[in-house]
Amino acid sequence: MLLQDAPPDTSAYMVAGYAVFFVISAIYLASLLVRRHNLEQDFKTLESIEAEANRAPTRIASAETSRGRVSGSKKAAAQRKQARKKVTRRK
C-alpha cells in the first residue's frame, strides 16, 4: 500500500541538465579559443615591435648618442605605445 505508487518520471530534467551542461561547456571552449587567438595576435605584435626596435637603433644610434640619449626611433616608440593600448583594451 505505501510503496505502490510509481516514482515520478524525471528523465526530462536529466536531459535538460545535460543540455545546459553542454551549452555552458561549449561557451567556455569558445571563450578559450578566442583568448588563444588574441594571445597569438598580441605575441606577433610584440615580436614585430621587438624586431623593429632591434633594427631601428642601428640606423639612428650615431645621431642620438651624440645628443646623449639612445631611445629608439619615434616610429618604434609609437608602435610600442599602440601595442600597449591594444593589450590594455583587451583586459
| pLDDT tens sequence across 56-72 | 655 555 555 555 554 55
Domain count, the chain: 1
Counting Cβ atoms within 10 Å, is residue 76 exposed (0-12), middle (13-18) or buried (19+)?
buried
Q: Which three cell numbers stand for residue 8?
A: 515520478
Identify whether 26 is part of a domain.
Answer: no
- Is 58 domain-assigned? yes
Q: Which amino acid is at 23?
A: V
Q: Is residue 24 part of a domain?
A: no
Q: What pLDDT shows up at residue 47?
A: 94
Residue 57 and residue 75 in contact, taking contact as beta carbons nearer than 8 Å: no
C-alpha cell at 31: 571563450
Output the pLDDT for position 37: 97
The verdict on residue 87 lying in a domain is yes
Block residue for cell numbers 605584435 = 45
**Is there a domain that residue 28 lies in?**
no
> Is 17 within the bounds of a domain?
no
65: domain range? 38-91
Higher pLDDT, 89 or 23: 23
Residue 47 in domain: yes
Distance of alpha carbon 55 from alpha carbon 25, whole angstroms: 45
